[in-house]
Chains A and B, each alone.
Chain A
Amino acid sequence: MDDLRGLTRREALLGGAATLAAAGIAGAQAPAAPKPGRAKSVIQIWVWGGPSHLDTFDPKPEAGQNYCGPFNAPIATNVAGIRINENLPELAKIADKYAIIRSLTHGNNGHETASYITQTGRTPGPGPVYPGAGAVVSLFKGADAGYKGLIPPYIVLTELQGRFSEAGFLGYKAKPFATGGDPAQARFMVEGVVAQGISEQRQRARRDLLHRLDTFGAAMGGDARVAELRRSEEQAYDMILGDAGKVFDLSQEKDDVRQAYGRSTFGQSCLMARRLVEKGVPYITINYPGWDTHKQHFPAMRRKLPEMDRGMAALISDLSQRGLLDSTIVWWGGEFGRTPAVQWEAPWDGGRSHYGQVFGAVLAGGGFKGGRVVGASDARGEEVKERPVHPAVVLRSIYTQLGIDPNAKLPHPQGLDVRVAPATLEAGGPVGVLQEIM
């Protein structure tokens, strides 16, 4: 069953149910068969650790120093009435290209559980461990759906989340390929694709040696398991020696393009993500660490925000200029927000803790309408004021834009009837979609 155990009744009333009720069509069914989606790829900027909603896309200067700290002068964007943190000037210039959700809520303050809720739409409980959005999308858009690329359909730049099982019960098939390496270095050493100091000539010679010494493979004849290993090896060499691996060669980009994204690991990851989208990779996660700022939050934000601003704005603009934004969803968000009331006391010294009661996300491209704000938090950013949105609503919206039926069955190892995304919340009522931006 697709129920969401563990949610409070208030939370259970979240999502599309509220919107539909407000529109006077309470009880209406969520649309059954989604239209063929226009989106082909997702770039998930996973703002790992929990970015402060107040210090990014939901500024509250009127709440005073104890809430906004030194960030008391948010800037206007190119969309009338929308303002964002003053450290995000590049994003302010393109607010017409993205929607801001200011009323996400799940009420959970633990990293692991909140990561799971925001990326699966489910609350952990008995039964299966669900796959995250990347695994689901790569399942529906990957090899079984005709994706022919040699690049794996689900790429993580650069490290796995570690505290989150991306694939859930889908298992090894749905696991992402984590690149390792650092795209901001002179050469992006994608783990396994590029080996330092091994020339192409030596690569070919040693591969020949490997085959010459394969006495066991010969003895085993046509054994299926040995054949499987050979296939994996051949695919790997298509990446090492073939053209497939060239997508990771960022030196093919013009210098001013690399500069525009910023020479940080995050900026160059954004550029890398664009190159992967151009190759048709359906799901790319940029794991962007450093946002779990319990202590000295504001100095950390002064470092992080400009870097994020530059990379993310360059990505959205570049996709737009190349005509790819319409078919690419850029999804920015973390597992939760951070406590609106600043903890000035030691040992935090101006810190913010975990906050799942209300937080934000950004959606751009893939058919989502830009220049919009969904929902609102209260004057201090402590509670949802309007239009509470459960993470499952965001996920159903993304799946819908991709043309993936959120009610489709997922293959389960024990044959259980499990669906792409929950259709109902615990106390009843459908999980809707973000109709106002679709």
Chain B
Amino acid sequence: MAQAGMTAQDPRPKASPEAAAPFELAREPEARCRLDEILFAELKRKGIRPARPCSDAVFLRRASLDAAGTLPTADEARSFLADKRPDKRARLIDALLARDEFVDFWTLRWCDTLRVKAEFPINLWPNAVQAYHRWVREAVRVDMPYDRMARALLTASGSNFRNGPVNFFRAVQSKDPASVARAVALTFMGCRTDRWPRARLDGMALFFSQIAYKHTLEWKEEVIVWDQARASAPKAPRSAMLPDGSRSALTADRDPRFAFADWLTRPGNPWFAAAAANRVWFWLMGRGIVHEPDDLRPDNPPSCPALLAELQRELVAGRFSLRSLVRTIMNSSAYQLSSIPRSTGPAAEALFAAYPVRRLEAEVLVDAINQITGTTETYSSPIPEPFTFIPENKRSIALADGSTTSAFLELFGRPSRDTGMALERSGKPTAGQSLHLLNSSHILQKLQRGPAMLDFFTSARNTADGVERLYLAILSRFPTEAEKAAAHSYAGPALTQAEIVDLAWALMNGPEFLCKH
């Protein structure tokens, strides 16, 4: 191990073209699709220089994390970097979108939005969480058209244990019609109703005023039904106002939720496709074209209206296939820019002049650490009953229940799923997070005793081999000459176990590992 004599000066490498080399290509980005043409034209008009295209290594890592919530393995990195085919990025995207991890990760995102949580204050209860999560996962798996998905959620009836989507109406802190309407507006219109005139919310609430919640003889079962008696009551309203100000007739022979779903998913609805397109963009880029992504309103305009319009057009033209929209965005040059900015400032950020750096999501981070070290997390949900058993090999991105106890996920900003708002998920670094990653027994034990690390201890042939493999497994790239030299000066020619642990630890605590970039 190297001498401990610390110098006062900062040992970090200095900013230079060599430092940027692993992360970007030495050329200008080119417009490859309509999205690029719109965005690059807008950047040019504003005098903002887009970043260079990202390197293959960065792309592999970014695409895997964004699409599948999963770090590439060392083998995946090696073969992708060796691949000489010009369309290898497009092939990678297709492969990622076909993986189970894609389904798990996009289900996780939807479950944040749809408030899938067993315990207080949502109180879906474990059985209903499983039913709800399973339904959402299946919708993502088969790429159910988004308009159908929304319609299914908004019009479902039946048991919370047996018909997953009915839980949409239970995943609210209060089941009064206005609270349900608030959740619908946030989820499907990207609107925060506290900014609406009260009359608009009250009008919309009428569509959800005939839902009845009935208990059964089974413990914690609840059946959601349309209460026709309320619809045919003498004083039942004959019409209700939609959020755009138009009126919809209410009749005693039709559940008004269908009328609302018809209006919402009708071509030309000003909110529905825009909110969804903006949300998908936000999930991939870390920032909405409308920012925050669930705050659509006239005085919070999109940073690039033509870009949002084009995404909406794509979504509708693709028959509301969310996966197609993901594919289109990921194939764009706009998505494939490096994160090293050439123009800085709020305008450049709002126009995506560089891919925004942000910390890995809590679940993705712990899964990545587990993948590198060959370890797992122990999750259980002992309360409330019934007890939920979670298999040891379950990945964190595949957890169904937002209230599964986990100090790590809490610490790293897992959303509470109380409201479904996007800002519930926090990527903010804290000293407590650093303490945990730098120095906790949780992480230390993974590094010292994880099966993948034990394997590494015995198989690393020499320092050069060990360092290269650690770089591929942790950062999905080969080390630079400068990095090799730094590692050699720390470790000497033969790697000891402690040195392997320290090298892996150092790579896992740097911003390159901790962030999407």
Residues of A that sit less than 8 Å from B by CB: 111-113, 116, 124-127, 129, 152, 159-160, 162-165, 169, 171-172, 175, 177-178, 180, 189, 191-196, 198, 201-206, 208-221, 223, 225-226, 228-233, 235-237, 239-240, 413-416
Contact residues in A for B151 (Cβ distance below 8 Å): none
Q: Can you list 21 A-B contacts (CB < 8 A)? A: A126-B178, A160-B407, A171-B426, A172-B413, A172-B430, A193-B439, A196-B441, A203-B439, A205-B3, A205-B502, A211-B10, A212-B11, A215-B13, A215-B22, A217-B12, A219-B23, A229-B359, A236-B431, A236-B434, A239-B431, A240-B438
* A192-B435, A235-B434 given; A218·B13 CB < 8 A: yes
Q: Are B506 and A206 in contact (CB under 8 A)?
A: yes
Partner of A116, one of B121, B416, B515: B121
Contacts of A214 in B (CB 8 A): 12-13, 510-512
Contact B19 A165 (CB under 8 A): no
Find A124's partner among B120, B358, B428, B429 (CB 8 Å cutoff). Answer: B120
Most chain B beta carbons < 10 A, residue from A205, A216, A218, A223: A216
Kindly provide the distance from the CB of B501 to the nearest chain A CB, expressed in whole angstroms.
Answer: 9
Q: Are B480 and A215 in contact (CB under 8 A)?
A: yes
Residues of B within 8 A of A228 (CB): 428-429
Q: Are B502 and A163 in contact (CB under 8 A)?
A: no
Given A192-B434, A196-B441, A237-B438, 12 other A-B residues pairs in contact with their CB atoms under 8 A: A112-B384, A126-B174, A165-B416, A169-B418, A172-B426, A210-B505, A212-B11, A219-B22, A220-B517, A223-B357, A236-B434, A236-B438
Q: Which of A125, A233, A413 contacts B438 (CB 8 A)?
A: A233
A162 lies within 8 A of B426 (CB): no
Q: Are B339 and A213 closer than 8 Å at their CB atoms?
A: no
B192–A159 contact, CB under 8 A?
A: no
Q: Is the CB of A217 within 8 A of B502?
A: no
Contact B192 A414 (CB under 8 A): yes
| B510 and A191 form a contact (CB under 8 A) | no
A226 touches B12 (CB 8 A): no
Bound: A191/B174 CA distance, A: 38
Selected from A152, A165, A198, the residue in CB contact (under 8 A) with B444 is A198
Give the complex CA separation of A211 and B16 in angstroms: 16
Residue of A nearest to B295 (CB): A414
Contacting residue for A217 out of B178, B424, B440, B510, CB 8 A: B510
What separation, in Å, do the CA atoms of A326 and B18 have in the docked complex? 61
**Does B49 belong to the interface (CB within 8 Å)?**
no
Cβ–Cβ contact B511 & A217, under 8 A: yes
Q: Do A210 and B1 have beta carbons less than 8 Å apart?
A: no
Stretch at the interface among B77-85, B162-170, B482-490: B482-490
B14 within 8 A of A: yes
Q: Which 8 A-B pairs have the closest CB atoms?
A: A192-B435, A126-B174, A216-B512, A112-B120, A236-B434, A235-B431, A218-B19, A218-B13
Q: Are B16 and A218 in contact (CB under 8 A)?
A: yes
Interface residues of B in 358-382 (CB under 8 A from A): 358-359
In this assembly, does B220 line the interface, its C-beta being within 8 Å of a C-beta of chain A? no
The answer on a CB contact under 8 Å between A162 and B405 is yes
Instruction: Tell me if B142 counts as interface (CB < 8 A to partner A).
Output: no
Instruction: Choose among A129, A193, A415 the residue that contacts B121 (Cβ–Cβ < 8 A).
Output: A129
Residues of A within 8 A of B428 (CB): 172, 228
CB-defined contacts of A216 to chain B, threshold 8 Å: 23, 510-512, 517
Chain B residues contacting A116 (CB-CB under 8 Å) are: 120-121
The complex places the Cα of A63 from the Cα of B404 at a distance, in Å, of 42
CB distance from B241 to the nearest CB of A (A): 21
Q: Nearest chain B CB to A270's CB is how many angstroms away?
A: 22
Chain B residue contacts of A218, Cβ below 8 A: 12-16, 19
Which chain B residue shows the least CB distance to A415? B194
> Nearest chain B CB to A113's CB is how many angstroms away?
7
A177→B490 CA distance, assembly (Å): 33
A164 to B423, CA, bound (A): 20
Contact present for B4 and A204 (CB under 8 Å)? yes
Contact B439 A210 (CB under 8 A): no
CB contacts (< 8 Å) of A177 on chain B: these are 432
Q: Which residues of A contact B303 (CB under 8 A)?
A: none
Max count, chain B CB within 10 A of own CB: residue among A180, A211, A229: A229
Bound-complex Cα distance A162 to B118 (A): 13
Q: How far apart are B346's CB and chain A's nearest CB, in angstroms?
A: 11
Contact B511 A195 (CB under 8 A): no
Contact with A along B498-516 (1 / 0, CB 8 A): 1000110111011110110
Interface on B for A, CB 8 Å cutoff? Answer: 1-4, 6, 10-16, 19-20, 22-23, 119-121, 172-174, 176, 178-179, 192, 194, 339-341, 357-359, 383-384, 405, 407, 410-411, 413, 416, 418, 421, 423-424, 426, 428-436, 438-442, 444, 480, 482-483, 486-487, 490, 498, 502-503, 505-507, 509-512, 514-515, 517
Given A165-B416, A209-B506, A215-B482: A232 and B429 within 8 A (CB)?
A: yes
* Residues in B whose Cβ lies below 8 Å from that of A191: 435-436, 440-442
Give B226 Cβ to nearest chain A Cβ, in Å. Answer: 22
Q: Which residue of chain B has the shortest Cβ distance to A216 in the bound complex?
A: B512
**Contact indicator A213/B510 (Cβ below 8 Å):** yes
- A260 and B376 alpha carbons, distance in the complex (Å): 41
> With the chains together, A212 CA to B435 CA distance in Å?
20
Contact present for B12 and A212 (CB under 8 Å): yes
Contact with A225, one of B12, B174, B498, B515 (Cβ below 8 angstroms): B515
Check A226 against B511 for contact (C-beta < 8 Å).
yes
In Å, the complex CA distance between A169 and B120 comes to 14
Minimum C-beta distance from B53 to chain A (A) = 15
A213, B439: Cβ atoms closer than 8 Å: no
A245 CB, nearest partner CB in chain B, Å: 9
Which of A116, A162, A189, A415 gathers most chain B CB within 10 Å?
A162
| B441 cross-chain contacts in A, Cβ below 8 A | 180, 189, 191, 195-196
A157 to B421, CA, bound (A): 31
Inter-chain CA distance A209–B509, complex, in Å, is 11
Residues of A within 8 A of B487 (CB): 209, 213
Bound: A416/B194 CA distance, A: 8
| Cross-chain contact B510 with A180 (CB below 8 angstroms) | no
CB distance from A291 to the nearest CB of B (A): 14
Rounded to whole angstroms, the CA-CA distance of A124 and B515 in the bound complex is 36
Cα distance A414–B438 when bound, in Å? 34
Please state if A202 and B23 are interface contacts (CB–CB under 8 Å). no
Task: Say whether, besides A172-B430, A213-B506, A124 and B340 are in contact (CB < 8 Å).
Answer: no
Inter-chain contacts of B507 with A (CB < 8 A):
213
User: In the complex, what residue of chain A is closest to B23 when comparing beta carbons?
Assistant: A219
Q: Are A208 and B426 in contact (CB under 8 A)?
A: no
Q: Check B436 against A213 for contact (C-beta < 8 Å).
A: no
Residues of A within 8 A of B14 (CB): 218
Query: Considering only CB atoms, which chain A residue lies closest to B1 in the complex?
Result: A205
Say how far A111's CB is from chain B's closest CB, in angstroms.
8
User: For residue A236, which residues in chain B have a CB less than 8 angstroms away from its CB?
Assistant: 431-432, 434-435, 438-439
| Docked CA distance A239–B384 (Å) | 36
Min distance, Cβ B9 to any Cβ of chain A, angstroms: 10
Residues of B within 8 A of A208 (CB): 2, 6, 11
- A151 → chain B, closest Cβ, in Å? 10
B384: chain A residues within 8 A (beta carbon): 112
CA distance A198 to B436 in the complex (A): 14
A303 smallest CB distance to B (angstroms): 21
* B486 and A212 contacting across the interface, CB-CB below 8 Å: yes
A318 to B507, CA, bound (A): 46
Q: How many Å lie between the Cα of A165 and that of B414 in the bound state? A: 12
- A193–B174 CA distance with the chains assembled, in angstroms: 41
Bound-complex Cα distance A64 to B502 (A):
65
For residue B509, which residues in chain A have a CB less than 8 angstroms away from its CB? Answer: 210, 233
The distance from the CB of A215 to the nearest CB of chain B, in whole angstroms, is: 5
Q: For residue A353, give the distance in angstroms from its CB to the closest CB of chain B.
A: 15
Closest Cβ of chain A to B423, distance in Å, is 6
Q: Find chain A residues with CB under 8 A from B192 CB.
A: 414
A237 contact set on B, CB distance < 8 A = 438
> Is B439's CB under 8 angstroms from A195's CB?
yes
Chain A residues positioned under 8 Å from B10 (CB to CB): 211
A152–B436 Cα gap in the complex (Å)? Answer: 14
Across the interface, which residues of A come within 8 angstroms of B11, CB to CB? 208, 211-212
Question: B432's closest neighbor in chain A, by CB?
Answer: A177
